[in-house]
Amino acid sequence: MNAVITAIGGFVPPAILDNKKISETVDTSEEWIEKRTGIKERRIADDDTATSDLASAAIENLLENYNVDRKEIEALVLATATPDHILSPTASKVCEKSGLTNAFGVDLNAACSGFLYALETAASMIESGRYEKIIVVGADKMSSIVDYEDRNTCILFGDGAGAVLLEKTESNYGLMKSILRTDGSGTSSLLVPAGGSKTPASMQSILHRSHFLKQEGSFVFKKAVASMSQVSQDVLAKNELDTDEIDWVIPHQANLRIINAVGESLNIDSEKVKVNIERYGNTTSATIPLCLWDFREDFKEGQNLLITTFGAGFSWGATCLKWGIMRDDKTTKSFRANVRKKSVLTV
């Protein structure tokens, strides 16, 4: 029994925060941001939009476009580092908003590696034979924890959500063997210091802006490159795959220089590495599913995908999956129909 992706959904807020706007508020420039990160713009949710709204919108996109019966969904695994509340779980709210009345929901926080961890969790649930249809979501409203007075972090992050439907299959399509890693000694290099049980909210924590994300950029950069490169090589070996058997690489979209360095370490053609960081920035748990959503038309049945991530915790990992047969996508059908119609009219 394998778990295969059969439908994909995504959502990003309409509001765009470009480099020009950021350069007007902190000491930086459009050129410097793009050169150092590869980011040109990012999407920002408004004050009334929560992570549950982003996740629900991505799920709705999936359910409607692929004609999925929401009553058949048995579980929702939501990866997020920016829950609506510390308590209760955001997945509970998402189940309500998405009408998943027959599913249980659970939050999973592994920061930027969250979606990969959630995917592995859900796949294991299906492989056990106890579940048949599970939605896995990566969603984050990073603008809620980013300090827009801190040049080191405010240039990096955006908001968004992506969702996939995992279904059981007896074919060889779907998720292969994964490798997931954690190194807690790195927590102090990338964290939100206050607001949890260790440092509860107080006037002092607010004055020190401790509810915002803090990052040791250079150290995290080097650790991300080394960790993603090594774990990618290890997971290829674990699945008995050579580099030239990988059709597409889906890396966490943290920094274009990290993405390029990982691709070079694997000796993989850059055209095989999917990148959309220039439009969305780092959406944390959402980067992997948004990449799958953006480039879904490029993935063909039987192709091998390599996914690799790195995030706070430190958490990182990689997996391989063999692309399966997708449900019919109404948006793709509509697009192709319009193209054919226009071609006929042109002739």
* Short-list 174, 176, 250, 252, CA closest to 6: 174
Same fold, 2-175 and 176-276+294-322: yes
Active site residue 276: no
Q: Which CATH class is domain 2-175?
A: alpha beta
Reported as type and span, the H/E element at residue 121 is helix 114-127
Q: Beta strand pairing status for 104-108 and 75-79?
A: parallel
Domain ranges of the chain: 2-175, 176-276+294-322
CATH T-level assignment (fold) for domain 176-276+294-322: Peroxisomal Thiolase; Chain A, domain 1 (3.40.47)
pLDDT digits (tens, 9 = 90+) for 50-95: 999 999 999 999 999 999 999 999 999 999 999 999 999 999 999 9
| Token pair in block for residue 234 | 């290890």
pLDDT band for position 41 (50/70/90)?
A: very high
Q: 191-195: long-range contacts at Cβ-Cβ below 8 A with a sequence spacing of 24 or more?
A: 191/312, 192/145, 195/86
Active site residue 208: no
Among residues 65, 95, 109, 112, which one is catalytic? 112
Among residues 255, 282, 291, 320, which one is catalytic? 282
Pick the range with the lowest mean pLDDT from 20-34, 44-58, 241-255, 324-338. 324-338
**Confidence (pLDDT) at 331:** 79
pLDDT band for position 330 (50/70/90)?
A: confident
Active site residue 109: no
pLDDT band for position 345 (50/70/90)?
A: very low
Concatenate the DSSP letters of all residues of 237-288 into one string: HHTT--GGG--EEEE--S-HHHHHHHHHHTT--GGGB---HHHH-B-GGGHH
Q: Beta strand pairing status for 16-18 and 41-43?
A: antiparallel
| For the chain, the helix, strand and coil percentages under 3-state DSSP, each to the nearest 5 | 45, 25, 35
Among residues 252, 255, 291, 320, which one is catalytic? 252
